[in-house]
Amino acid sequence: MVSRNKIVESIKNEVEIEKYVINLSSKHQRAIETKDLTISYNGKKNALNKTNLAFETNKITSLIGASGSGKSTFLRSLNLIHGENTLIGGQILYHGVNINDPSIDKFEVRRRIGMVFQRPNPFAKSIYNNITFALTQRAKYTKNQLDEIVESSLKQAALWDQVKDELNKSALSLSGGQQQRLVIARALALKPDILLLDEPASALDPKSTMQVEETMVNLKKDYTIIVVTHNMQQAARVSDYTAFFHMGNVIEYDLTRKIFTRPKVKLTSDYVAGNFG
Amino acid sequence: MFNSKQINKLAISFIYAIAIIVALILLFLVSNILINGIPEISWKFIASPSKTFEAGGGISVQLFNTIYLLILSMIISIPIALGAAIYLNEYAPKNDFISVLKTAIEVLSSLPSIVVGLFGFMFFVLKFNFGFSILSGSIALTFFNLPLLTRSIENSLAAIPNLQREAGAALGISRFETVIHVILPAALPSIITGIVLASGRVLGEAAALIFTAGQSSPNLDWLNLNPFSPHSPINPMRPAETLAVHIWKINSEATIPDATKISAGSSAVLLILVFIFNFLARYLGNKIYKKMTAGK
Amino acid sequence: MEQNELFKQLTKKSVASKKDIFGKYLSLSALILIGITVVAILFFVISRGLTTFTLDKINPFRFLFGTDWQPNNVDKNNNPLVGALPMIFGSFVITLLSALVAAPFAIGTAIFMTEVSNQRGAKIMQSVIELLVGIPSVVYGFIGLTVIVPFVRNTFGGSGFGILSGIIVLFVMILPTITSMSIDALNNVPKIYRESAYSIGATPWQTIYKVVLRSAIPGILTAIVFGLSRAFGEALAVQMVVGNSPVIPQNALSPAATLTSVLTQGIGNTTEGSLQNDVLWSLAMILLLMSLVFNLIIRKIGKKGEMKNNV
């Protein structure tokens, strides 16, 4: 109780918020990077203040922070899936190309930057059609090609062995954890290179959570993964980097092990220790 | 003086009484229509054409016209209502233009159907020279039908969770494809329920039709399927008196000696049709819903 | 170099974005089509209705307040006898009185369904209301003709055709409309209102009367105006029982005419473009304008209700 009051106090009194953001050196490849990214809804107060974050290729980065800290808002802006009344300022550099630009085709961006949400949202279609639907809307494929893609993406999501004999069953008949992995497979089928996960396991039971986490770690070699999570243990278990968000600001961004063992900012250590949030 | 408990008891019994009276009114209406009407219904009544000056006419042509007009007006109104509902629920930004269009739909739904019919008369029957015809009538019915149908489809679409739309968006699929392939199939049961309910309403409509589809019907040759022949049942340019218009007409012109009997029979047929549609709406809605959620 | 290639790929219009634009404008065109229809109806009916005053040079004041409706005849100053007051009066009287009778029944039934009855009773009444809605208006007219008119004749004398029969028929017709909208209004009252009333020891009736009904007033008013609007525009059922005599009625039993009944009877029997025809279109215009007025009232009540709830 005492420490909580102290934190609120210190935020109020500080004009400059103390921050620490790691600098990726040039030998680290950057899959996606934001420059002065600012987000506001309906012209109200900023949901996110100038944010500069770079994400290394083939690594898992966790975004942590309390509800309303701006981490989900940030994640959603990365593949331009934000709502109608959202204003985004600054740059989002995808392999160096600024995609926060009206000339960019957002559908193409979303194919390359896949996204998985908190609650599993398979279509009310068969398992097979869930995976092929987006593909067949984009181009023509032969049956063999589709079969191959279905198999490989289900394998990548570690679901193939469980569903290979019932691909024509409704996706809604799967368990929550299976549904979430199907949704991951569905995104992978489009051959993205970045995967955004918005609290992918928070609606799942512990066993399903473990399965989804394993899947994430296995996917790392081929994909860059950015995951929003409320679960500090999860962030510590799976991610290479962690960024801590607080009230629309990135307070600290560093290697995960540093964030959880020797954070440089007091606010981060308080949050990681569970003092608030 | 009464105390509050006694007042309470009195007031609650009063409310019970009102509800019972309303139920009795319905019971009286329905039993009156059915008791007087059903004895008049026979195969001959349903399958033979009406007569203008003598007793013993049937309603075969009117029954056919009613169904034909219903189907044609649905063919015209469903795509329009569907499009408008999709735009309103899936795309519409919040601006003045959209709120003017929404108001327009409300205005259309509040226009008296006789005014809609008169507009159809002036515009389609006279200006476009469609004459008193099935075509003019089904356009008038479309105007009458559109607001309700649009709103009902809009509600059906709104009931589908946003998760599905997000899923489509995250896969780089356009909103339109998501709507056509994901949202619409999921909303189909309740859309069908809405369409069948609207059909029940259209079946009984007469005021919009007396000056558009007309109050008479040529002699029909059921085997004549040439759509341009004036005696073909499927010719959309021929006048077509519906069952509801027939009931109104024989009662206000009184040229048939057995007008009351025929009206009673027709009313019963009409009422039974409307009930079948209402029942069908619920039954189909439930059935399709079960089928869709059971998984394939 | 690589970046240029990527930029090209990302800015190329994808199939999805083409389909998106296509779908957006296709569905918008359907909505606009409805909008154009409404504008066309308003424009043509109003401009047609105005010809009486522009082309035929009828004084609008004489039209609205004149009491003599004999479009085929002229008075001693050679002015056509086209006073529409009898029909305007008839429409208003029948509409208002039928809503006045229907409102207590509708509100009572709505209270029964939302506040008093158990689920089973509410379900039964729900079906009753739905069935009442389903009965076509000509069937109401026919029942009026065969049951209500003779009943009025035998009970009160006269021909039976007249204001009273019209009111009775319309009362039943608008009952389900007002009821189902009142149900929505009552259901919109937050549960917490009822709970807090009960918790301070109010009886069910006190809760209903002093808390629930009061906060549902805007919704119930809207329901009644909807009923009025429906009654005002109803044509055939009224025309079948009202007697169709375009004079200002002396009492509840005298035959009368309404805007809709005169229109229903007259349009087919006049020649397009004649004065007799033009004045009928003016009646149609009044009907249309009245439905706009009802619409406006409903909006005003809705806005007031919102404001009240926000305070």
Element (H or E) spanning C22, and its range?
A: helix C15-54
Interface membership of B155 toward A (CB under 8 Å):
no
C5 to chain A, any CB pair closer than 8 A? The answer is no
Which of B171, B291, B293 to mutate against chain A (most A CBs within 10 Å)? B171
Are A96 and C16 in contact (CB < 8 Å)? Answer: no
Question: C27 to chain B: which residues are within 8 Å by CB?
Answer: 83-84, 86-87, 90-91, 176
Q: Among B32, B191, B201, B25, which Cα is nearest to C179's? A: B25
Reduced to 3 states (helix: H, G, I; strand: E, B; else coil), residue A194 is strand
CB proximity C31 to A under 8 Å: no
Which residues of chain B does A173 touch, with a Cβ-Cβ cutoff of 8 Å?
A: 295
More confident residue, C84 or B255: C84
pLDDT tens-digit profile, chain A (277 residues): 344 444 444 444 444 667 888 877 778 888 999 999 999 887 677 888 888 999 999 999 999 998 888 899 999 999 888 776 788 889 999 998 999 988 999 899 999 999 999 899 999 899 999 999 999 988 899 999 999 999 999 999 989 999 999 999 999 999 888 999 999 999 999 999 999 999 988 888 888 888 889 989 999 999 999 999 988 889 999 999 999 999 889 999 999 999 999 888 888 888 888 776 5
CB-closest option in C112, C232, C263 to B15: C112
- Tens digits of residue pLDDT in C159-192: 899 999 999 999 999 999 999 999 999 999 998 9
Contacts of A187 in chain B (CB under 8 A): 170-171
Relative to beta strand A86-94, strand A97-98 is antiparallel
pLDDT (tens digit, 9 = 90+) per residue, B220-273?
888 888 888 888 888 889 999 999 999 999 888 777 888 889 999 999 999 999
CA of A28 to nearest chain B CA: how many angstroms apart? Answer: 27
* Cα dihedral B46, B49, B51, B55 in deg (nearest 10): -30
The residues facing A227 across adjacent strands are: A62, A197
Return the pLDDT at A14: 46
CB-closest option in C2, C10, C19 to A104: C10
Please give, rounded to a whole number of angstroms, the shortest distance from the CA of B93 to a CA of chain A. 8
Question: Do B105 and C37 lie within an 8 Å CB cutoff?
Answer: no
Compute the average pLDDT of residues C247-268.
Answer: 89
**Bigger pLDDT: B143 or C56?**
B143
Nearest-Cα distance to chain C for B110, in Å, is 6
Rounded-to-integer distance, Cα B65 and Cα B250, Å: 17
Are A107 and C14 inside 8 Å of each other by CB?
A: yes
Interface of C with B in 50-89 (CB under 8 A): none
Evaluated on CA atoms B172, B175, B179, B180, the torsion sign reads: negative
* Nearest Cα residue to C139 out of B30, B52, B83: B30
In chain B, % of residues over pLDDT 70: 97
How near does any CA of chain B get to the CA of A111, in Å? 5
Put simply, the answer to whether C23 touches B26 (Cβ < 8 Å) is: no
Chains contacting chain C through 3 or more C-beta pairs under 8 A: A, B
What's the pLDDT score for residue A16? 61
pLDDT of residue C311: 40
- Minimal Cα distance from A96: which residue of C? C3
Provide the phi-psi class of A90: left if phi over 0, else alpha when psi is between -120 and 50, else beta: left
For each of the domains in chain B, give its residue range(s) and CATH number, in order of start. Answer: 41-294 (1.10.3720.10)
| Under 8 Å between Cβ of C20 and B174 | yes
DSSP H helical ranges for C55-84: 60-65
Contacts of A95 in chain C (CB under 8 A): 2-3, 6
Across B131-144, b (16+ Cβ under 10 Å) vs e yields: ebbbbbbbbbbbbb
Contacts of A137 in chain C (CB under 8 A): 15-16, 19
pLDDT at B5: 87
Contacts of A138 in chain C (CB under 8 A): 14-16
User: The tokens of C61 are what?
Assistant: 């004041």
Would you say residue C242 has pLDDT above 60? yes
> Looking at residue C306, what is its pLDDT?
66
Chains touching chain A, criterion 3+ CB pairs below 8 Å = B, C
For the entire predicted model, the pTM comes to 0.89
Chain C partners within 8 Å of A107 (Cβ): 14, 16-17, 20
Chain B residue at shortest CA distance from A198: B170
Residue B118 CA to residue B129 CA, distance in Å, equals: 14
B193 min Cα distance to partner chain C (Å): 14
Question: What is the bridge-based pairing of β-strands C80-82 and C69-74?
Answer: antiparallel
The full set of domain ranges for chain A reads 119-198
The beta-strand segments (E) located in A13-83 are 20-21, 30-41, 46-56, 60-64
- Report d(CA B253, CA B265) in Å as an integer: 18
The mean pLDDT of B163-167, rounded to a whole number, is 91
Q: Using CB atoms, pick whichever of B93, B172, B177 lies closest to residue A110.
A: B172
ipTM of the complex: 0.91
Q: Where are the domains of chain C?
A: 82-310
Strands in C149-241 per DSSP E: none
CATH 3.40.30.10 fits C82-310, yes or no: no
Q: CB contact, 8 Å: B25 with chain A?
A: no
CB contact B254 to C (< 8 Å):
no
B177 to chain A, any CB pair closer than 8 A? The answer is yes
